[in-house]
Chains A and B, each alone.
Chain A
């Protein structure tokens, strides 16, 4: 075979939607700019794919990044990138929608455009080219990639596509060109057309002003949000891949948003307020999706799933219905307590499974800084219960490089691991032990993200990151139970690039373009990540990476993403940043309303909870 896993490119999977192309008005290509196995595991695309194909006048197809082997052949043989369903070239479509799930996919966007024979820069496209749309979490700071997109859809996809597509059809029928369509699209809530704005900078490099180029164009873009997540689109027949993909199971999204307010977490702010799907809907979809896919496993998806108020009855329902059908339930990471241990006991093989805790920081002080409401007492109690129940493997997730972190906090990581091991040896009598307790501690490097209280915080340098990882390792090997503790840490190079992109501005477009032209692609894959080329390109473009990463932003600074209104106000985030510095915690949305601003959406916990 010339290419690895050719089944990535053939389409024709179970539940893939085929339509007669002459019977539709709009051809839409939905893209996840990474390899098939990753892209096919993404729930968001399945939701939008299902929704768009319910529209009779639209045929939505899928496209993913060709792997490097096919990429090479396509360039050599001049084969244009095609959609999976029709196997027809993307360049003939009306829309190309690209989901932006992580910053390290930015060069893959250019690969998709390039292989599709679509000009990389939006300004070079003509009326015959597809309209290129960006969406997903990274579109909350679209500026580093704004030159490559005609428009961005900010927020949840269920709400405004129909309006956008209608406008497109009208424009086309009326003979309006691309520019005219974009100008009108910019008036639809949630739609951002970057070419209609100009940004000016101060002498220090920060933003001076954002100027809409035409009078009617809105100054701020408000995120779109589904008010009722029960009565809405959800796929009951998701596409079933032939080859094994990362998420090879039915995925049931139980809620959107999160009540917790961890200060490092972007998703926790972006998707506010928390909105639960009804138990009845989830039960109904679980059965339908299992029937229509034939999957042998179902998993629940959401942020902080333990906070879903109907979790117990939902799990009871699933356990009851899955047992006879021999379907596995893959549990999301739940808060470890008597309830979750009981559920885990019922659904999985205790011997094989491990417990997961995400304290994120090693000391209570630092956990207060990041507002992670998990105490040592809770962790140790959870571990004790689990060890009594027969578990002997524990995974722990931490972050290094958090704001205000000191050596003591890092020492806390090692000490916490040691204490958990000690609990095992205290709890489990010698005759019942099966070897040592296994504790696996993993650290990732903290990257400040837009729309979080830490958006003002400086990021560590690569050297600082690595020093912290070595320090963690040293502290762990100094513990009494060090032989029971395994320590993993991430590479630091990619974290620096991710940090630059996350809080970047329009001036990064040229760097991404240049890096791509020099062969950067699949940056999210460590074996293809070319750090030296990236660093060299920043230098050539005269970009100081410290401006984006290690610099502490001043409080009044205008951020590149400030024109987007995600519901949570900048004022609230700043208050949270101050509280973080004072090591003060903020209660979660279930306990009290903290006035973050998301109540403006008038839905979810903001209206269901009476304080």
Chain B
């Protein structure tokens, strides 16, 4: 049976890369003595699926992975056992026993929301907020995206589902995070500031992932809900 785990990542552990987070959970599951299923073959490994890699340096309260278990005790037991072996900076938020036929975490991801906060010492162009709103209101934002296969021109607007400047000047974004169309929040900002001919200094902002979503609507009419979601 498949179980989905939601966790957060904050503080100094944000500097641990995705592969190392995976290794960390493999060891944590052993420490928690969870009856996880292993693959067959010469070098058996735990059957796990991580939703969406988080960039090094970003924090999050919406990370997910799935694991296949041989036995399931209870949601409370699993949550408590996992939380007991966590380090400071990674907390288990929720656990859900998945229904038969539910797609795995990685394939399910369709979008992710982020909160971007500029560092205090960064001075931005005076009217950047108005300009960002104007930028976002355009129906077509042509940008060049670098992919593994090379560069291609895309309409960035198709990948930004929501964008909003909050009262504290932080920016909330809901972006395409599907395997084919993933857009990083930093890329959106780079594209925007480029239109202002403004060069953003290094480490100008922090990124916090708020939630990771799946789509329970259709391709045309999206209905995004968190990866752990109950009606």
Interface residue ranges, A against B (CB under 8 Å)? 1-2, 6-7, 10-14, 240, 242-244, 290-296, 325-326, 328, 349
- With A291-B30, A294-B28 given, can you name 11 additional A-B contacts, CB distance below 8 Å? A2-B202, A12-B89, A14-B31, A14-B85, A240-B27, A242-B23, A243-B16, A244-B20, A294-B26, A295-B30, A296-B27
Distance between B68 CB and nearest chain A CB, rounded to angstroms:
14
Distance between A331 CB and nearest chain B CB, rounded to angstroms:
16
Q: Indicate if B29 sits at the interface (CB-CB under 8 A).
A: yes
Q: Indicate if B198 sits at the interface (CB-CB under 8 A).
A: no
B56–A295 touching, CB < 8 Å: no
CB pairs A–B below 8 angstroms (8 shown): A6-B15, A7-B15, A7-B20, A10-B13, A10-B15, A10-B16, A12-B13, A296-B27
Within 8 Å by CB of A294, from B13, B17, B31, B42, lies B31
Within 8 Å by CB of B27, from A12, A294, A328, A349, lies A294
Q: How far is the CA of A516 from the CA of B42 in the complex (A)?
A: 49
B15–A349 touching, CB < 8 Å: no
Q: Which residues on A sit within 8 Å (CB–CB) of B203? A: 2
Q: How far is the CA of A290 from the CA of B15 in the complex (A)?
A: 26
Q: Indicate if B24 sits at the interface (CB-CB under 8 A).
A: yes
B27–A293 touching, CB < 8 Å: yes
In residues 4-32 of chain B, which contact A (Cβ within 8 Å)?
11-13, 15-17, 20, 23-24, 26-31
Distance between B204 CB and nearest chain A CB, rounded to angstroms:
14
Q: How far is the CA of A296 from the CA of B26 in the complex (A)?
A: 9
Chain A residue with minimal CB distance to B56? A1
Q: How far is the CA of A326 from the CA of B26 in the complex (A)?
A: 12
Chain B residue with minimal CB distance to A6? B15
Chain A residue with minimal CB distance to B38? A326
Q: Which residues on B sit within 8 Å (CB–CB) of A242? A: 13, 16, 20, 23-24
Distance between A398 CB and nearest chain B CB, rounded to angstroms:
32
Chain B residue with minimal CB distance to A9? B15
Count how many pairs of residues, one from A and one from B, have CB atoms less than 8 Å apart in the complex.
65
Q: Which residues on A sit within 8 Å (CB–CB) of B28? A: 14, 294
Interface residue ranges, B against A (CB under 8 Å)? 11-13, 15-17, 20, 23-24, 26-31, 33, 38, 42-44, 56-57, 85, 87-89, 202-203
Which of A2, A6, A290, A325 has most chain B Cβ within 10 Å? A6
Within 8 Å by CB of A7, from B17, B27, B38, lies B17
A14–B16 touching, CB < 8 Å: no
Distance between B90 CB and nearest chain A CB, rounded to angstroms:
10
B56–A14 touching, CB < 8 Å: no
Q: How far is the CA of A11 from the CA of B11 in the complex (A)?
A: 12
Q: How far is the CA of A511 from the CA of B13 in the complex (A)?
A: 41
Distance between B4 CB and nearest chain A CB, rounded to angstroms:
21
A293–B31 touching, CB < 8 Å: yes
A11–B12 touching, CB < 8 Å: yes
Chain A residue with minimal CB distance to B86? A14
Within 8 Å by CB of B57, from A1, A13, A291, A292, lies A1
Q: How far is the CA of A295 from the CA of B24 in the complex (A)?
A: 10
Chain B residue with minimal CB distance to A328? B43
Distance between A528 CB and nearest chain B CB, rounded to angstroms:
24
Contact (A243, B20) CB under 8 Å given A1-B56, A12-B12, A14-B87: yes
User: Lowest 8 A-B CB distances belong to which pairs?
Assistant: A294-B27, A294-B30, A6-B15, A10-B12, A294-B31, A242-B16, A7-B16, A326-B44
Which of B16, B38, B202 has most chain A Cβ within 10 Å? B16
Q: How far is the CA of A325 from the CA of B23 in the complex (A)?
A: 16
Q: How far is the CA of A244 from the CA of B20 in the complex (A)?
A: 8
Q: Which residues on B sit within 8 Å (CB–CB) of A14? A: 24, 27-28, 31, 85, 87
Q: How far is the CA of A325 from the CA of B57 in the complex (A)?
A: 34
Q: Which residues on B sit within 8 Å (CB–CB) of A290? A: 30
Q: How far is the CA of A296 from the CA of B23 in the complex (A)?
A: 10
Q: How far is the CA of A160 from the CA of B149 in the complex (A)?
A: 62
Q: How far is the CA of A11 from the CA of B12 in the complex (A)?
A: 8
Q: How far is the CA of A112 from the CA of B203 in the complex (A)?
A: 28
Distance between A49 CB and nearest chain B CB, rounded to angstroms:
17
Q: Which residues on B sit within 8 Å (CB–CB) of A12? A: 11-13, 87-89
Q: Which residues on B sit within 8 Å (CB–CB) of A10? A: 12-13, 15-16
Q: How far is the CA of A12 from the CA of B90 in the complex (A)?
A: 11
A296–B20 touching, CB < 8 Å: no
